[in-house]
Amino acid sequence: MRFEFFPILIKLIDACNDLSVQVHPSDEYALKYEGQYGKTEMWYVVDAEEDAKLVYGLNREVSKEEFAELAKGPELISVLNFVPVKKGDVFFISSGVIHAIGKGLLICEIQQNSNLTYRVYDYDRTDANGNKRPLHVEKAIEVAKLAPEPLISDRTVFFENEDVSVENLATCEYFVVDKIILNGKYTLIPDGSFISVTVVDGEGKIGSLCVKKGTTVFIPADAGETEIEGNLTALSSYVK
């Protein structure tokens, strides 16, 4: 395999409050200045409360100087692009895109295996000792796309019949994510990669394992055919 370490992380993020506004550097920048890889990720909205929103990029172009000034306080909110979301929405977040998960969202995040994040704004919150979380505004300005970022909504249906639909949600050099909507049976066949299956709705079985919403099953690359059955929706994550 071409990766130096296991290539992806998969998280379920249950946001009871607005999470901090962040941006991730590219591999090139991160390797040069941090000695580690950057981060590209995607979000699948598992559940969303009414009127839930998230931040995806900016609502207008700004200069580095203006952004630095706005980032000194809550005025930054005025240039963030807040996007209303619903269950089933997908967002691909490449390095450089400013983003934040809003309260009332349950997100399945599939990401490049990296913990490198530059925090831009945290709503002036403090911990029990009155301390604010550290910000990384100077670094963020160096890597952020300071203009509106178009939402990527292209999807490709790979396979569909009366029992199953398999739709590609994201493909990049770090991961591939497909959405499986199943009411019956479907066979997964690894093709040189592991497959990580995360159930985001419904229930059923993967191989001999009973699964339900929130379950993730890891299928090794050499596992051979694995049957999924039930009435469920799942995200299948792998690498090419």
Q: Which residues are annotated as catalytic?
A: 119
Sequence-ordered strand ranges (E) for the chain:
8-15, 21-23, 41-48, 53-58, 80-84, 90-93, 99-101, 105-112, 118-121, 156-160, 164-171, 176-188, 195-206, 209-212, 216-219, 226-238
Distance separating alpha carbons of residues 43 and 170, to the nearest angstrom: 10
121: helix, coil or strand?
A: strand
Distance separating alpha carbons of residues 215 and 166, to the nearest angstrom: 19
Number of residues that this document lists for the chain: 240
CA dihedral sign, ordered 103, 11, 46, 201:
negative
Radius of gyration of the chain (CA): 19
Q: Which of 93, 87, 123, 117 is CA-nearest to residue 105?
A: 87
